[in-house]
Amino acid sequence: MQTAPRLTPKQQRFVHAYLGNGHCAAKAAIEAGYSEKNAATRGHLNLRIPKIEAAIREQLEREWAAYKVSRESLALEYDGAAVLAKQEKDVRGLVQAITGKAKLFGLDIQKIEGVFSLVDLLDDE
């Protein structure tokens, strides 16, 4: 794993706050010392700075490794949730499992072409 480029102290505070607050860039900007008035914009822009993005990604990878979390393990969890939702005839749960797995792999479920019926998915047993 490559070490992220050096951050300024304010950028370090932003990364720490962003990772500690549930990934809210505006709150992280305020906690890091940026103006409250421009916090949303500054937070959004900070996430686009390559060295900040790299620092966040590096820290997340360390955390995922510590908890043995991978994209594949999360996909299996979504698969299990989808099976349970189908068994319980829980359409909302099934949609959440499908969209969660799609997002995990970088797919925008809104843009996927083709239509399917959740009723059909629930009744295919």
Longest dimension (CA), the chain: 56
Transcribe 18-87 into DSSP letters.
HHHTTS-HHHHHHHHT--STTHHHHHHHHHTSHHHHHHHHHHHHHHHHHTT--HHHHHHHHHHHHHHHHH
* CA 23/CA 4 separation, integer angstroms: 19
pLDDT at 11 over 80: yes
pLDDT tens-digit profile of 49-70? 999 999 999 998 888 787 787 8
pLDDT of residue 73: 87
All CATH 1.10.10.1400 domain ranges in the chain, comma separated: 9-66
> Domain 9-66, what architecture?
Orthogonal Bundle (1.10)
How deeply is 18 buried, as exposed, middle or buried, from its count of CB atoms within 10 A (0-12, 13-18, 19+)?
Answer: buried
pLDDT at 109 over 50: yes
